[in-house]
Amino acid sequence: MRPKTKFEQLFVVTHLFRWTLLVIPIALVAGSLVALFLWLLDWSVRFRFAHDWLLFLLPVAGVVIYGLYRYLGKNAEAGNNLIMDEIHEPGGGVPARMAPLVLVTTVMTHLFGGSAGREGTAVQIGGSVAQFFARLFRLTPGDVRIVLTTGIAAGFGAVFGTPVAGAVFALEVLTLGRIRFDALLPCLMASVLADVTCRAWGIHHTAYHIGTAFHFDFFLLVKVIGSGVAFGLAGFAFAETCHTIKNAGKKWIRPAWAIPVAGGLLIIGLTYLLGTEDYLSLGVMGKYAHSVTIPSCFLAGGATPWSWLWKLLFTAITLGTGFKGGEVTPLFFIGAALGNTLATLCGAPVDLMAGLGFIAVFAGATNTPIACTLMGVELFGADNVLYYAIVCFTAYYFSGHSGIYHSQRVGVSKV
Amino acid sequence: MRPKTKFEQLFVVTHLFRWTLLVIPIALVAGSLVALFLWLLDWSVRFRFAHDWLLFLLPVAGVVIYGLYRYLGKNAEAGNNLIMDEIHEPGGGVPARMAPLVLVTTVMTHLFGGSAGREGTAVQIGGSVAQFFARLFRLTPGDVRIVLTTGIAAGFGAVFGTPVAGAVFALEVLTLGRIRFDALLPCLMASVLADVTCRAWGIHHTAYHIGTAFHFDFFLLVKVIGSGVAFGLAGFAFAETCHTIKNAGKKWIRPAWAIPVAGGLLIIGLTYLLGTEDYLSLGVMGKYAHSVTIPSCFLAGGATPWSWLWKLLFTAITLGTGFKGGEVTPLFFIGAALGNTLATLCGAPVDLMAGLGFIAVFAGATNTPIACTLMGVELFGADNVLYYAIVCFTAYYFSGHSGIYHSQRVGVSKV
């Protein structure tokens, strides 16, 4: 039963030494590409702020993205799900073209005003770089699985500047209800090194701040649990809306290139209907001082009561009709905005509830409560770690078994 | 594949409501018993400080403990391992007598100067209380497994005042290399509620403090990784020494009651040989201002270069010859003392290295790196969370596959 050998520590040393050597080039390249990506993203959002008319080209951008994937993409369209499938059952591998394709198309999505995130892109960059080196070093299928997992960790750790959460996320996201400690340390090394590399290129991550000091209070605990339920349901609603829009588009709209056109037009229409650009692009920077952004959600009055729902709709339309980008930053936005609304409704500290929503909607939609608890610690500090765990675990229970990644397997059912 | 049903959230509500009702009495009783235990422990250590001659009765106490388990114990002697076995494969159940027996014998061990900890006792109290209620409510074998897991979480969360680490520990300790999210939220509820109950009885936990602010520094990183290796090897050495002493005693000493007599005599002999009582009992409070204790290890000069080895030996002798108590607080001591020594050797901040050793030796010896990372956050704050993860994950790799719990199964091999 126990694979115990004498001097097994010597094998550990060889094992870790080998993996350190393998992980270094992956992390350096992935971290650098993520830095380039974040820089381009920042540029594209600022450029759109200065050129309003870019939004009208969103449908055209959609057609171009569709064409790029149709004629150059091979199987890269499957994105994160392809990487997860390759880890579960190694097949044809992740194509090297995935990294440049997703980088260019995500920047296009943001430049023309689509509402999307970053993590999907970063994870795909990491996975594609990892696969490239796996081919170069002629690794065995078993090692390719590990190397792809380190690629996810590298991408995630670098894009959010949260290396511990990145390493745990890579292991936790693969199977619902289970963490297997395959490559625990190689994942952490990849994520730390990619994060350091990304910062070395001058990338700064947005700092979020929960000023409310921890106090154990029965009423606050009840509010936290209740909002955990709401955050979980919001994660569920997001995943379902994305799936529904994707299926509806495929079913009702022909030819296929018209799907992103319809998506683009919907986004333009909604923007003018609401009279605000706050729900376009990433949502981390605002065009105006009073714009609703993720940081503004941490302040009283920083979001409207329905901001969370609008961001959910804008993002589900953008991603469901074929634009590119991640889901996670919009999930942060949805969560922080919903937290802001709930704080006002139930009389709880706004910054605390926004921070809890930020991590919990994400925990629910991706079924990664432990990575998200650790992310809370890395972003907001240790003070309220008990509430992070409570809200993430609760959201995990209430987000259903679907989640945003259909290649995530169900290891342990939630009830 | 996906057990997805419409309105599965309704099942979640019923499931959680039922488990909340089940967990409340377990957590209240376990938390109260842990509070009583901690109070008695504190009293017994102070009483021994005032009455030096108690140490000479340690061999006699050993015989009494032996007799109690021999004639009253049934299968309670197996302790933590019995609870883990019952979770893996439900059998005859955990006897209710386990709680009072382990409480009384642990206090005796500390009162007469044995070097031992608290967590084993608290976990056994939690498990035994959980089994008691499981019988009362006539639960199915599947539910008994979950209820026992919540018992571990309740005991651990209450005894250290670290509820998040307690919940994750209960799930992580069962199988090496894997966390299954069975009962994620019931475990957290049990551990939070038991902790709150324990504090409500007026129990205060020792506060540890790492003053060194986080700074990313390549040389410090290398020192942290290197000491992670040392902490893992120390955890390995501790587990091996305990096993060796236990086997040697069984093989060479007859009758069986003479084993604790020999253990007691060895402890007395070593105490006089070293001329210090610092390695007796828990090690959290010192008899003198200059005593080596866990808190003193956080200060420069607060431990001798070999304090860690002496504490390792004292504890392995105490627990290996049949005295009762946990292993974890001594592991904290060994780790903090070794961290102190390594900090001096390699020129790193003493408080940081002591804190890292505190969690990492424990992570290695019990194979629970994620719970220990979270424990670091709960005890020392978020500042150095990256170093906590690095040191705990590294120690996990270097502690071998044996660990201190022989009922821990191997789910995923380390290399």
Contact list, A412 vs chain B (CB under 8 Å)? 180-182
Does residue B42 belong to any structural domain of this protein? yes
Contact list, A233 vs chain B (CB under 8 Å)? 9
Total domains in chain B come to 2
pLDDT number for residue A183: 87
β-strand pairing of B409-410 with B175-176: parallel
| Arithmetic mean of pLDDT, A275-302 | 93
The pLDDT tens digits of the residues spanning A368-380 come to 999 999 999 999 9
Contact list, B222 vs chain A (CB under 8 Å)? none
Are residue B370 and residue B252 in the same domain, yes or no? yes
Distance CA B102, CA B396 (A): 29
Distance from CA of A397 to the nearest CA of B (A): 7
Does residue A340 belong to any structural domain of this protein? yes
Q: What are the φ/ψ torsions at residue B30 (nearest 5 degrees)?
A: -65, -45
Contact list, B413 vs chain A (CB under 8 Å)? 3
Contact yes or no for A135/A300 (Cβ under 8 A): no
Nearest chain B alpha carbon to A168: B370
Distance from CA of A301 to the nearest CA of B (A): 29
CB contact under 8 A, A12 and B374: no
The pLDDT tens digits of the residues spanning B355-384 come to 999 999 999 999 999 999 999 999 999 999
CB contact under 8 A, B185 and A393: yes
Nearest chain B alpha carbon to A189: B390
CB contact under 8 A, A377 and B385: yes
Does residue B327 belong to any structural domain of this protein? yes
pLDDT at A1 over 70: no
pLDDT at B145 over 80: yes
Q: What are the φ/ψ torsions at residue B413 (nearest 5 degrees)?
A: -65, 155
Instruction: Share the mean pLDDT of chain A.
Output: 92
| Arithmetic mean of pLDDT, A231-252 | 95
Are residue A169 and residue A275 in the same domain, yes or no? no
Are residue B293 and residue B349 in the same domain, yes or no? yes
Domain of residue B91, residue span: 11-200
Q: HSE of A11 in the Cβ direction (CA atoms, 13 Å)?
A: 12
pLDDT number for residue A89: 85
Are residue A187 and residue A234 in the same domain, yes or no? no
Token pair for B397: 């790799």
The pLDDT tens digits of the residues spanning B318-361 come to 999 999 988 999 999 999 999 999 999 999 999 999 999 999 99
Are residue B145 and residue B276 in the same domain, yes or no? no
The pLDDT tens digits of the residues spanning B116-132 come to 999 899 999 999 999 99
The pLDDT tens digits of the residues spanning B81-92 come to 888 888 888 888
pLDDT number for residue B5: 58
Contact yes or no for B308/B322 (Cβ under 8 A): no
H-helix or E-strand containing A160?
A: helix A141-160
pLDDT at A4 over 60: no
Contact yes or no for B184/B167 (Cβ under 8 A): yes
Count of CB contacts below 8 A, A vs B? 152
Are residue B73 and residue B115 in the same domain, yes or no? yes
Which of B369, B383, B386 comes nearest A184 by C-beta?
B369
CB atoms within 10 A of CB A78: 18
pLDDT number for residue B3: 47
CB contact under 8 A, B1 and A393: no
Does residue A395 belong to any structural domain of this protein? yes
Q: Please identify which residue in the block is written with the tokens 């402890």.
A: B267
Are residue B195 and residue B224 in the same domain, yes or no? no
The pLDDT tens digits of the residues spanning B188-237 come to 999 999 999 999 999 999 989 898 888 888 899 999 999 999 999 999 99
CB contact under 8 A, B15 and A196: no
Token pair for A391: 């809200």
Last residue of some domain: B200, B228, B263?
B200
CB contact under 8 A, A412 and B373: no
CB contact under 8 A, A4 and B184: no
Query: What is the percent of chain B where pLDDT is above 90?
Result: 77
| Arithmetic mean of pLDDT, B107-116 | 96
CATH at A194 = 1.10.3080.10
pLDDT number for residue B360: 97
Does residue B211 belong to any structural domain of this protein? no
pLDDT number for residue B392: 97
Contact list, A184 vs chain B (CB under 8 Å)? 369, 393, 396-397
Are residue B160 and residue B102 in the same domain, yes or no? yes
Are residue A287 and residue A351 in the same domain, yes or no? yes
CB contact under 8 A, A402 and B15: no
pLDDT number for residue A2: 44
CB contact under 8 A, B410 and A3: yes
Contact list, A85 vs chain B (CB under 8 Å)? none
Which of A2, A378, A402 comes nearest B385 by C-beta?
A378
Nearest chain A alpha carbon to B185: A393
Rounding to the nearest 10 degrees, give the CA dihedral for residues B287, B291, B294, B297.
160
pLDDT at A399 over 60: yes
CB contact under 8 A, B377 and A369: no
Are residue A127 and residue A237 in the same domain, yes or no? no
Contact list, B11 vs chain A (CB under 8 Å)? 415
CB contact under 8 A, A382 and B386: no
B117 pairs with which residues across the strands?
Answer: B326
Last residue of some domain: B200, B233, B259?
B200
Last residue of some domain: A172, A200, A228?
A200
Does residue B336 belong to any structural domain of this protein? yes
| Arithmetic mean of pLDDT, A214-220 | 88
Q: HSE of A15 in the Cβ direction (CA atoms, 13 Å)?
A: 18
Does residue B210 belong to any structural domain of this protein? no
Contact list, A402 vs chain B (CB under 8 Å)? 2, 4
Distance from CA of A230 to the nearest CA of B (A): 11
Does residue B2 belong to any structural domain of this protein? no
The pLDDT tens digits of the residues spanning A126-162 come to 999 999 999 999 999 889 999 999 999 999 999 999 9
Q: pLDDT class for B2, splitting at 50, 70, 90?
A: very low
CB contact under 8 A, A181 and B177: yes
Which of A373, A390, A410 comes nearest B3 by C-beta?
A410
| Arithmetic mean of pLDDT, B143-154 | 93
Per-residue b or e along B196-216, where b marks 16 or more CB atoms closer than 10 Å to that residue's CB: bbbbeeebebeebebebeeee
Q: Please identify which residue in the block is written with the tokens 């018209």.
A: A258
Which of A1, A2, A23, A367 is most worth mutating to test chain B (most B CB atoms within 10 A of its CB)?
A2
**List of E strands, B224-374:** none
Contact list, A163 vs chain B (CB under 8 Å)? 386, 389
CB contact under 8 A, B9 and A400: yes
* Contacts by residues B305-310 (CB-CB < 8 Å, ≥ 24 positions apart): B305/B341, B305/B344, B306/B341, B307/B278, B307/B279, B307/B337, B307/B340, B307/B341, B308/B234, B308/B333, B308/B334, B308/B335, B308/B337, B308/B338, B308/B341, B308/B357, B310/B270, B310/B274, B310/B279
Distance from CA of A401 to the nearest CA of B (A): 6
pLDDT number for residue B6: 63
A176 pairs with which residues across the strands?
Answer: A410
Contact list, B146 vs chain A (CB under 8 Å)? none
CB contact under 8 A, B411 and A180: yes
CB contact under 8 A, B390 and A182: no
pLDDT at A294 over 80: yes
H-helix or E-strand containing B187?
A: helix B184-200
What ipTM goes with this model?
A: 0.94
Are residue B256 and residue B224 in the same domain, yes or no? yes
CB contact under 8 A, A181 and B414: yes
Contact list, A386 vs chain B (CB under 8 Å)? 163-164, 192, 378
pLDDT number for residue A409: 87
Whats the size of chain A, residue-wise?
415
pLDDT number for residue B115: 96
Contact list, B185 vs chain A (CB under 8 Å)? 393-394, 396-397
pLDDT at B28 over 60: yes
Are residue B258 and residue B406 in the same domain, yes or no? yes
Q: pLDDT class for A49, splitting at 50, 70, 90?
A: very high
